[in-house]
Amino acid sequence: MPVETVSRAFACFLALAVPAMGADAGAAVPGNSPRLFGEGVISGPADDRAPAFSPDGDTVYFGRGNASRYSILVSHRKDGRWTTPEIAPFSGQWRDLEPAMAPDGSYLIFASNRPSGAAAQPLDGHYGGKVAAAKGGNLWRVDRAGNGWNEPRRLPDRINSGDAVFSPSITAQGTLYFMRPDGEGGHFHLFRAALRDGEYQPPTPAGLTAGGPGEVDAAVAPDESFIVFSSSTPAHPTQSRLCIAFGAGGHWNTPVDLGDEVNEEGSNTEARLGADHRSLYFSTSTVEPARYPSTREETARALARMLVRDNGSDNIWSVSLAPWLDAHAR
């Protein structure tokens, strides 16, 4: 999701377990608090977002950047620890972000401001009623080649119909979810494009809007049985809330807010699924509230945290989706 798009879209309705509860009841799942992912290695002082895992879970590609620069990095898990991230072979020249791995690991799609055709300048973006210089986005695909990657290639104009196409997610059948501005006000909405005989079909709205201004950052199960995305709610009109919806074939039931234990005070965006497809990864800029008076020891610990996290930058957190998936299966 572009850094500039913090305030989000539509009303998510809590309909899990207690249907009579209101849309913003924010039901927590006790003991299922998010955990920081790769503290000091993956999640550090910069903005870290959108982890895309290999099928075995031992390699992760993710975006790291700030208000000016963004690249895709790669890290490997060895002896239970993540290696120091390096710039991915296909990144480092342009503003690349939001990688999404195909479920079989054969290719990866990401957003980038890199120019296409004969163009030489980075792509500007138009969203939120403003021009974002050099912060546009089109979706690009890079195919696995042995232990490496081929050169990225831009997806067709049917997908890249504008200069603000972001946040890909891929199903096992190759169906692509993504977001782009649409309609009055230029709010972001999610779209779905089925892949048939190697060609993307015309994108259609994902069908998750329920009267609000938009929705962003889809993470879709490989079998398309559920989707996690970010949205605002009536009680949190300026906060991005993580929501889940169940369905089949791109038809979705009423979305469910993941509750206050998952949705922290800051933004909650860039949903991704882990390699087990039951773990949710997302980014938030939440900082721990200060309590005064503090002891010198508490202040020292807080200052140390700021060198890694808890400083207003986005970090990656993970949480189990088992409570929602298991409840739906019953």
Share of residues in the chain with pLDDT > 90 (%):
75
* Predicted pLDDT of residue 117: 80
Please determine, for residue 64, whether its predicted confidence score (pLDDT) is greater than 60: yes
Amino acid occupying residue 224: E
Closest CA to 131 of 119, 139, 140, 122: 122
* Predicted pLDDT of residue 24: 32
For 146-173, how does the pLDDT look when each residue is reduced to its tens digit (9 = 90+)?
Answer: 989 999 999 999 999 999 999 999 999 9
Predicted model pTM: 0.90
Q: Which helix (H) or strand (E) holds 322?
A: helix 322-329
* Predicted pLDDT of residue 183: 78
Please determine, for residue 69, whether its predicted confidence score (pLDDT) is greater than 60: yes
CB of 218 closer than 8 Å to CB of 250? no
**DSSP-assigned states of every residue in 275-288:** TTSSEEEEEE---P
CB of 193 closer than 8 Å to CB of 201? yes
Q: What is the fold of 38-329?
A: Neuraminidase (2.120.10)
**Residue 1 banded pLDDT, cuts 50, 70, 90:** low
Burial class (CB in 10 A: 0-12, 13-18, 19+), 254: middle
Provide the β-strand partners of residue 149: 144
Locus of tokens 């990225």: 152
Locus of tokens 């700021």: 306
Please determine, for residue 5, whether its predicted confidence score (pLDDT) is greater than 70: no
Task: Give the start-to-end residue ranges of the domains of the chain.
Answer: 38-329
